[in-house]
Structure 1
């Protein structure tokens, strides 16, 4: 199916002419970061609706708290009707590590899922391959590669093949896309993967008293949803710490091939475990400070 995506650059669009030109799907930029809203959003949306085009919305992800960005996005599009998946546009590192950018995308997507919105990633072929890790590669992909007959990525629901397209009814150049039926919102909401490692983490954090933002224990369901991510954000384990959370960290390090010394999982974050944490952090592109915070915890959960 032929599609275009538009933003404020396109301004007012004659959607009847767009439809007559053979376009079936239009994606509209809704928001960016924490405060930017497309000033033409309502007029572009109503124009596309009036001629019965299939509609989707996207958010340009920056380097803020991903939950706050997701909340802002949903606050803008919540009252608008969409046919297509809600897209997280990720194209820049903004000085962040691959692990951090990937974590932001994952948190944003999980927030959408937890609120019954069906997510999708938009990115370039190169950025997707080199700057996003495996934690987000189960999400549907809309990929850009200009001038290529097919993208390098092999599993995608949308292919943006030009950013200089000409379509009747649109002023100036516009992005051109081919979409498969996979771009449409599923009749059944996507289900997160149940994971034994996550379930043991949930049990451990319940045991040591870590709670979500409302003070509730986690449901030990093996799913990294919004409440589990709230608890992950509270993890902060440093040198010489003791207890069951340290034991869980040691078990994960050992399972992932990082030796914690002859004592194994002894529940003490001593020098040998500290060294294992630093080696693990380096292997995942994190700062090797030996502190197990939320980014290191997310990597340990994979």
Structure 2
């Protein structure tokens, strides 16, 4: 499917002409960092919506606290409907190491996933291959590479092949893209019998894999978003309380925050401290569990709902 991505550099877009030119999908820049909002966001959204185009939003990731950036992005697009996965635009390292850049992406992605949003990464072929590690390579990819028939990346759901395209209805140049249907939210094809893919479960599976928890066979979980036998075997092993510190603690915090239980000013910082303990006890009380502050199988199952 043909698509474009736009920002404040494309004012006064005639979206009817854009659609009539064969474009089906338009990605709109929403935010950057923790302060910048595209001043044309609302008008571009309204125009694309009125023209019947499929819409996606992207955030340009900077070197701030990725959770704060994720919260800012979601606050700006609140009330706007998206047909496509939210895109995390990361193009430069900003002086950060590969590990730090990748960690920022993962934290941003996990926060969005914990709030029931689907995500993808937008970046260039070279940056993807050389500046990101394997921890983010399971996130769907929208890749840019100009002047080639196809990108170097083996698996991708979007391919930006030009930054100087000409489209009727847009003055000046615009990025041109080709997307597969996987760019859409809830795009996983139905299976018979129907298996529900849950992005909260998928984020949980990723977190337990990061901390080394395994099923009864000694295997890592398949990160498929299906709460089946092997995932339940891992859930049965979980015992978390005050003082814990790892990515599973961060997932617990992200779920608490998403469900309305504050973990303090530091948010999902991966440290199970006093504020998180208080949040867990409040959550357990609301869900009719023993409010002991211990995150075991019963509490995990409630957090997964």
What TM-score do you get using the length of structure 1 for normalisation?
0.69
Paired position in structure 1 for 2:268 = 230
What is the rounded CA distance, in whole Å, between the counterparts of 1:48 and 1:15 in structure 2?
6
8 Å Cα contact 1:3/1:178 also seen in 2: yes
Structure 1 residue 230: Cα displacement: 3.3
Where 1:3 maps in the other structure, the secondary structure is strand
* Unmatched tracts of structure 2, length 5 or more: 188-196, 215-234, 255-266, 274-305
SS of match in other structure, 1:161: strand
| Structure with bigger gyration radius | 1
Change (3 A) 1:140 1:200: closer
Taking structure 1 as reference, are residues 226 and 174 closer, same or farther at Cα in structure 2, changes over 3 Å only?
Answer: farther
**2:21 corresponds to 1:21:** yes
For the 8 Å contact 1:145–1:151, the answer to whether it is kept is yes
Shift of 1:227: 1.9
> Do residues 131 (structure 1) and 131 (structure 2) align?
yes
| Cα pair distance change 1:226/1:129, threshold 3 Å | farther
What CA distance in whole angstroms lies between the structure 2 residues aligned with 1:146 and 1:234? 45
Determine helix, strand or coil for the equivalent of 2:160. strand
5 Å matches for 1:109-258? 109-186=109-186, 188-190=197-199, 191-192=202-203, 193=205, 195=208, 198=211, 206=240, 209-210=242-243, 225=251, 227=253, 230=268, 232-233=270-271
Residues 49 and 189 (structure 1), Cα distance of their counterparts in 2 relative to 1, 3 Å cut: farther
Q: 1:161 to 1:63 in 2, by over 3 A?
A: same
Q: Relative to structure 1, is the Cα distance of residues 151 and 196 closer, same or farther in structure 2, using a 3 angstrom cutoff?
A: closer
Q: Is the 8 A contact 2:30 2:37 kept in 1?
A: yes
User: Secondary structure at 2:9's aligned position in 1?
Assistant: helix
Alignment of 1:48-67 (within 5 A): 48-67=48-67
CA contact (8 A) 1:211 1:231 kept: no
**Preserved contact between residue 101 and residue 132 of structure 2 (Cα < 8 Å):** yes
Residue 222 (structure 2) aligns with: none
Question: CA 1:197–1:31 in structure 2 vs 1: closer, same or farther (change >3 Å)?
Answer: closer
Whole-angstrom distance in 2 between the partners of 1:14 and 1:100: 40
Contact between 2:67 and 2:268, CA under 8 Å: does it hold in 1? no
Return the alpha-carbon distance in structure 1 between the equivalents of residues 210 and 95 of structure 2.
30
User: Deviation string for 1:81-127 (max 9, x for gaps)?
Assistant: 10000000000110000000000000000000000110100000000
CA distance in 1, matches of 2:239, 2:104: 22
> Structure 1 residues 196, 112: closer, same or farther in 2, change over 3 A?
closer
1:97 aligns with 2:110: no
Q: Give the aligned length.
A: 227
Pick closer, same or farther for the CA change 1:231–1:81 going to 2, 3 Å. Answer: closer
Determine the C-alpha separation between the residues in 2 that align with 1:53 and 1:78: 19
Match of 2:30 in 1: 30
1:36-56 deviations in whole A, cap 9, x for unaligned?
Answer: 000000000000000110000
Q: How many angstroms does 1:197 deviate by? A: 5.9
Q: Structure 1 residues 39 and 211 mapped into 2: Cα distance closer, same or farther (>3 Å)?
A: same
Structure 1 counterpart of 2:289: none
Deviation for aligned residue 1:211: 5.8
Aligned to 2:295: none
Contact 1:210/1:231 (CA < 8 Å) preserved in 2? no
Superposition RMSD on alpha carbons, in Å? 2.7
